[in-house]
Chains A and B, each alone.
Chain A
Amino acid sequence: MAKSFSSITLERRSLLLAGAFLATVKGAKAQQMDIARASAFVNAAGQELTTAINDTRLSQSQRREKVANILRTAIDIEGTGRFILGRYGRQASPAEMQEYLGLFDEIILHNLSARFGEYRGVKFSLGRTQQRTEEDAMVSTVIERPNSPSFVLDWRVADINGQPKVVDVIAEGTSLRLTTRSEYAAVIQRNGGRVASLLEAMRGQIAQLAAREGG
């Protein structure tokens, strides 16, 4: 294990420092993300996820469903969906926005739970937590799986209406929300700048996923 991950003293010291820092500025900034809270939150969600993934009593579909449920409470799906749609969010009609958020919820949970659901025997360890901006903190974890190289997964955590929530996951430097934002923007741009074309593509994707799983 690398130094930053094993050094408990360092961790404790940074927590103390963060505590002292927060004590002085508390109240000054609304919705500031406390890094100790962010890290405890990721730890709890991670434990819950690994327990579900490694539960041998569950069938594959039960496991995926359980993972999806945990992710649904841990992730700020609506905020992430709006971030990803970016400037096109303003062009969307209220009905389009509503449909988009529903489709996004379905796709993101499906993709993530399908991926995490395969991580049998997964273990994770909590690494360093850093304040990124005033509103969010980055919690680093190392994911270890049998028969695969371990990798770093960072969780960006923000305070959403008083609750810590995941707003992005970053695998070895690649952010899910930035990559998805480029993907969705490209679909809209290549179809005359219409948000409706993205919705159409997302509906098609969901139908395909359903067909693949049914077949």
Chain B
Amino acid sequence: MLNLYARFRGLAALAPSLPAAGALLSALLLLSSCATPPPADDPEAVQEFKEINDPLEPTNRTMFAVHEAVDQAVLQPVAEAYRALLPEPIRNGVRNMLGNLRTPVILTGDMLQGNLDRARKTLGRFMVNSTIGLGGVVDVSRDLGVHGHSEDTGQTLAVWGAGEGFYLFVPLLGPSNPRDLLGFGTDIVINPTTWIGQGQLLDAWNYTRLGLTVVDTREALLDPINAVRASSLDPYATLRSAYRQRRAFEIQNRDGPAGSVAPAGGAGFGQGVMEPR
């Protein structure tokens, strides 16, 4: 669920305290228990350990359990209520608008990855959707044949050659790794509303946007996560694998011809938030 939060500014309140958060995270990592590496005389097991690349697995699993408890108590019921109470056209409008608001992050990613064609599309979509599309609520560009796509700084770092580091599970954000976490922080900084203006109205708007993004994302993931919970013998391991595969797919910009990743986000749960119908 990482990338989805990557776009707001509600979290931007955290931006000044990012170094502190970093220090806290490092402390946590130092204190956390580590997975036991297999004996060196078992090359297959060593190979597998490297592929799984989850040296903090015991801590990550604890974090996953915390996340699941919070999710089942709060996030999931709220997302279900959102789906039940609001008709689909309104939810689609919300998703479109949130995607449009991520334009600065997507455009920066397109440009830093040297993808001028995609940058041009992102910019064109923003201009059309923000005006004719009533502030991004209606995805007019898509109807004109220009589908949206998603980018984030974690993907840019990957395109630049940064490896993922190792697996991390962060409660509320979901599956991640140091590279994507650094990208997440950078995305907050890239967002202009982190820096412009102040006042209660802006704060209220930023928290509304944060809340809507969380709810919209969780709603998009209701079915995939229910499916993982129902069918996996080890949901933690399933999500770890799915997250990596999904990120590789996003990094390669392999957006599908019909249902490309909604500009509102590739959710890191191994399932993207899709473009609304």
Contact = CB atoms under 8 A, between A and B. Distances in A.
Which bucket holds chain B's interface residue count? Answer: 20 to 34
A30 interface: no
Given A183-B237, A183-B238, A87 B270 contact: no
Contacts of A1: 257-258
B275 A149 contact: yes
Nearest to A5: B257
A174 B271 contact: yes
Contacts of B254: 173
Interface stretch (A13-21, A36-44, A140-148): A140-148
A182 B258 contact: no
B258 A174 contact: no
Contacts of A142: 256-259
B200 interface: no
Contacts of B259: 142, 149-152, 172
Interface in A98-135: 111, 115, 127
Contact of B257 (A2, A87, A111, A175): A2
A147 B256 contact: no
A149 B258 CA distance: 8
Contacts of A183: 232-234, 237-238, 241
Chain A CB within 10 A, most for which of B233, B248, B271, B274: B233
Contact of B245 (A148, A151, A178, A185): A178
Interface string B61-103: 0000000000000000000000000001000000000000000
Q: Which of B88, B241, B250, B271 has the most CB of A within 10 A?
A: B241
A93 interface: no
Contacts of B272: 172
Contact of A184 (B233, B257, B270, B276): B233
Contacts of B248: 173
A64 to B, nearest CB: 15
A198 B232 CA distance: 12
A151 B258 contact: yes
Nearest to B236: A186
B205 interface: no
Contacts of B236: 186
A172 B44 contact: no
Contacts of B271: 171-172, 174
Contacts of B88: 147
B238 A149 contact: no
A144 B242 CA distance: 22
A182 B227 contact: no
A205 interface: yes
B277 A149 contact: yes
A207 B88 CA distance: 36
A175 B204 CA distance: 41
Interface string A1-41: 11111000000000000000000000000000000000000
Task: Among A3, A148, A182, A198, find the residue whose CB has the most chain B CB atoms closer than 10 A.
Answer: A182
Interface in B238-258: 238, 240-242, 245-246, 248-250, 254, 256-258
A151 B257 CA distance: 8
B256 A172 contact: yes
B17 interface: no
B258 A87 contact: no
A187 B246 contact: no
B198 interface: no
Contacts of B234: 183, 186-187, 190
B117 interface: no
Interface string A186-200: 110010000000100
Contact of A151 (B232, B241, B256): B256
Interface of A: 1-5, 87, 111, 115, 127, 142, 144, 147-152, 171-175, 178-187, 190, 198, 201-202, 205
29 contacts: A1-B257, A2-B257, A144-B258, A147-B277, A149-B275, A151-B258, A152-B256, A152-B257, A152-B259, A172-B246, A172-B249, A172-B259, A173-B245, A173-B250, A173-B254, A174-B270, A174-B271, A180-B238, A182-B241, A183-B237, A185-B48, A185-B52, A185-B237, A186-B236, A186-B237, A187-B233, A187-B234, A201-B233, A205-B233
